[in-house]
Amino acid sequence: MLTLTDIQPQKDEIYLDNNATTPVLPQAAAAASHAMQLCYGNPSSSHITGIKAKYILETTRNLVRKVIGAPSGEITFTSGATEGIQTAIISALNATRGQAATADKPVLLYGATEHKAVPETLKHWNNMLNIGAEVLAIPVDERGILDLDFIRRHVADALIICTMAANNETGVFQDLKALESVIRQGNDKVLWMVDCVQALGKFSLDIANTTIDYAPFSGHKLYAPKGIGILYVREGAPYTPFIAGGGQESGLRSGTENLPGIAAIQAILSLLDDEEDDTFKSHEVLLGYRKQLSDTLCEAFPDIVFNHDFACSLPTTLNFSVKGLSSKDIMDLFDAAHIRVSSGSACSSKVSGSFVLEAMGKPKWQSDSAIRMSFGPATTQQEIDDACEAIKKAVKALHHSCLILSDTQDNSEFAVDGLQQWVYDQQCTWCYVDKAAGECIVLDMIPELVNKFQTLVKCQNYQVNGVLETHRHDGQLLSSEIVRELISGQMLSSDYDHLGWNKHNTELTLQNGQQVSAINIGTKVLAKLPLPGHTENSVCYLLGTAKEGRLEAQDIEFAFVGDTLQIGGLGRVDLPESSAEKMYESLRNLAAVIADDTLICPSHDYQQLFSTCLAMEKRTNRLLSDVLAGEINAGEFKQQKALVDTKLPPADHHNYCGSISTSSADIGHITPDKLKQFMADNPGATIVDVREPHEFDAYPEECVSGKALVNIPLSQLTNFVNRHRQEKSSSTFVCICRSGNRSDAAARTLSRYGFNKVYHVPGGFALLS
């Protein structure tokens, strides 16, 4: 195990994710440490050590009052804003229980862009306390500003209204005065909570001069440690303790106070309150920082769109999207370049947009591609200068990888030759490139990847020999047609059929004597094999090397099977356009023309398994092996497959196209602390960095444990398997990535394919550097 002090920030780290959490300022850390080591008393103890602790507690409370402008009302220390939100909502709902029972149709109102802590808490306690109110989201306009007319219409029936001072994803702030006037004109009794988490330290609140009833704050959003928060409660507003016990905080919140956290808050608020101190920057300075960052971003990404109106946003947050780049592309790039930002969407394989941007009515691509870059009110000019330099440098890697185009295009370093797999939301687009010939084909284009392909083709000036589909469902989005139009100048032919197949093709004979049509791609051929079953029009494309008019099974490298065969399953046949009998024949036909170890590339990858082959499928898929061995006939297959399909999720679900099964190959782990020794013991081992080329390029870690890294990105893993079949048992590979997720997936796949000396490093670069 690594020791705590082994875990250090990365060299040159640029932290631009302050809305998620801030670093602790040295003054706050010193204050917390002082409270822990020297003033460690319990504020409830009556001896002198306790009295000192109590003094820190009460002086901090007074400072909070001063900074947020609350001479009256209660200030309690909590564990964070989520607890403050619970307390406020429980207090309000508990007090309005009677009201709820008599009201016609009581509602609980909250802003549609509120942090999840708010709607989830409203729903939870509405149920737990049997309030029976309707929980209603207040819509926002395209700038993220709350719809005042909606509030006007509903506020009379509201038991509580929850709004936020500033949004955590976009920095959009609300006009609290205008909001207050609408709320109070419609209902002078309704309890009003304002989430002030992102506002503290960024604008003055003067809270007691408003009719806000509850205001939660969080220490870790303003340079104090995690685990400390503040709740303001207006004088006379109903209150129910969320935590009962020893009666601390005048009985409002039991539990021994987090005095180190409270001391840290005191240090921060003292700096904020000190007009002579320049730790916290003026609004003008922060506006200057934002301008510098946004100018840099605009220069780096000509197709950038900012997702919020700067005029009504805090200067410290920039939320943007870049056409053609997913938020994962940018996040990964920046992270590799040691720049920390966050995205509203995208985990490893599933894509889910930002609900905040969706509520603002932004198009789906904008929400799916959103990046949040946030600095803090204590950020320095030097940090912003460094960030801008790092951004400029990182973006060059996107040019080299052909992910964005530039006027001074230098595409000579583009490294891809062979097969690439692009996965979006568990769907796969396969792209085959023959670099020497300057030709490529793309199969099963996913709408979200259209721009990526277009940019690649233009960047490398490829001739596109085919934009192909393996099948088409009724009413499906025609992204292939969009692509063909966008790159029409680079298409080999404009004469193709409904699946994009070039009508000017030649004939080839397959292993079983079957005649099929084929096109050339560089030195290889691509043959089209009809494969009806999942849909009537399903086909499979076979890529390999033809000899004297024949394409033998052992010369086929890849079979692009669409949805007919999946990793661990078969495509569903319960659709109106499906036929189980035809699928039965198609599977047997496929097995007659490809080899057991031909790499099968399906158009879905539900479990990061990348690709498969018949040998592996026959081992894990009984139904398929029975079909191929002739153990069952078409009628029996139909019956058994119908049973399998009933267990599939509905047709509109992610698993729309077929079944999946799990696979958990056992692979070796080398924990980061053991890597050095492992490399000393195995000097011939190759360390494989499975991050994408733009990440590798952005800040190559160059060597790990004295060994140079080899870049084999996940998108080229199937290509790698194909080219290194001979080394399965001779070579040792140690896979590594940022966190250990992708290296785990890569190692599992290599191991499935029979590479028997494969390891991965859990924790990856995050724990190594």
Helix 634-646 vs helix 580-593: angle between axes, to the nearest 10 degrees? 110
Name the 3-class secondary structure at 485.
helix
Residue 190 or 230 with smaller CB distance to ligand PLP: 230
The count of C-alpha atoms lying within 13 angstroms of the C-alpha of 416, restricted to the half-sphere facing its C-beta, is 30
**Number of C-beta neighbours around residue 37 at 10 A:** 9
Name the 3-class secondary structure at 110.
strand
Q: Which residue has the tokens 């049973």?
A: 643
Q: How far is the CB of 107 from ligand PLP (least distance, A)?
A: 21
Where are the extended beta strands (E) located within 364-403? Answer: 371-374
**Number of C-beta neighbours around residue 259 at 10 A:** 24
Q: How far is the CB of 357 from ligand PLP (least distance, A)?
A: 15
Q: How far is the CB of 77 from ligand PLP (least distance, A)?
A: 12
Give catalytic status of residue 347 as yes or no: yes
Under 8 Å CB-to-CB from 759, ≥6 apart: which residues? 667, 668, 669, 670, 678, 732, 733, 734, 735, 747
Q: Which of 347, 440, 703, 737 is catalytic?
A: 347
> Can you name the residues that pair with 516 across neighbouring β-strands?
508
Residue 354 or 598 with smaller CB distance to ligand PLP: 354
| Rounded-to-integer distance, Cα 14 and Cα 19, Å | 14
Ranges of H-type helices in 69-198: 81-95, 97-102, 117-128, 148-154, 176-186
Q: How far is the CB of 80 from ligand PLP (least distance, A)?
A: 3
Residue 224 or 599 with smaller CB distance to ligand PLP: 224
Angle, vertex CA 374, rays to CA 372 and CA 379, nearest 5: 165
Residue 316 or 535 with smaller CB distance to ligand PLP: 316
> Can you name the residues that pair with 473 across neighbouring β-strands?
none
- Structural tokens at position 260: 């180190």
The count of C-alpha atoms lying within 13 angstroms of the C-alpha of 675, restricted to the half-sphere facing its C-beta, is 25
Q: How far is the CB of 353 from ligand PLP (least distance, A)?
A: 18
Q: How far is the CB of 386 from ligand PLP (least distance, A)?
A: 25
The DSSP H or E segment spanning 698 is helix 693-698
Residue 97 or 123 with smaller CB distance to ligand PLP: 123
User: Which residue in 110, 262, 137 sits closest to 194, CA to CA?
Assistant: 110
Residue 168 or 586 with smaller CB distance to ligand PLP: 168
Q: How far is the CB of 251 from ligand PLP (least distance, A)?
A: 23
Residue 168 or 327 with smaller CB distance to ligand PLP: 168
- Structural tokens at position 465: 């020999």
The count of C-alpha atoms lying within 13 angstroms of the C-alpha of 169, restricted to the half-sphere facing its C-beta, is 26
At 305, which amino acid appears?
V
Contact 494, 467 (CB under 8 A): no
At 541, which amino acid appears?
Y
Name the 3-class secondary structure at 421.
strand
CA torsion 270-276-277-282 (nearest 10°) is 100
Q: Which residue is nearest to ligand PLP (CB)?
A: 80
Q: How far is the CB of 166 from ligand PLP (least distance, A)?
A: 8
The count of C-alpha atoms lying within 13 angstroms of the C-alpha of 222, restricted to the half-sphere facing its C-beta, is 29
CA torsion 393-394-396-401 (nearest 10°) is 160
| Rounded-to-integer distance, Cα 274 and Cα 639, Å | 78
Q: How far is the CB of 732 from ligand PLP (least distance, A)?
A: 43
Residue 374 or 480 with smaller CB distance to ligand PLP: 374
Q: How far is the CB of 147 from ligand PLP (least distance, A)?
A: 19
Residue 56 or 81 with smaller CB distance to ligand PLP: 81
Residue 87 or 608 with smaller CB distance to ligand PLP: 87
Residue 138 or 467 with smaller CB distance to ligand PLP: 138
Contact 411, 498 (CB under 8 A): no
| Rounded-to-integer distance, Cα 432 and Cα 715, Å | 11
At 484, which amino acid appears?
R
Binding site for ligand PLP (CB under 6 A): 80-82, 115, 117, 164, 168, 195, 197-198, 218, 229
- HEC profile of 515-540: EEEEEEECCEEEEEEECCCCCCCCEE
* Catalytic (active-site) positions: 347
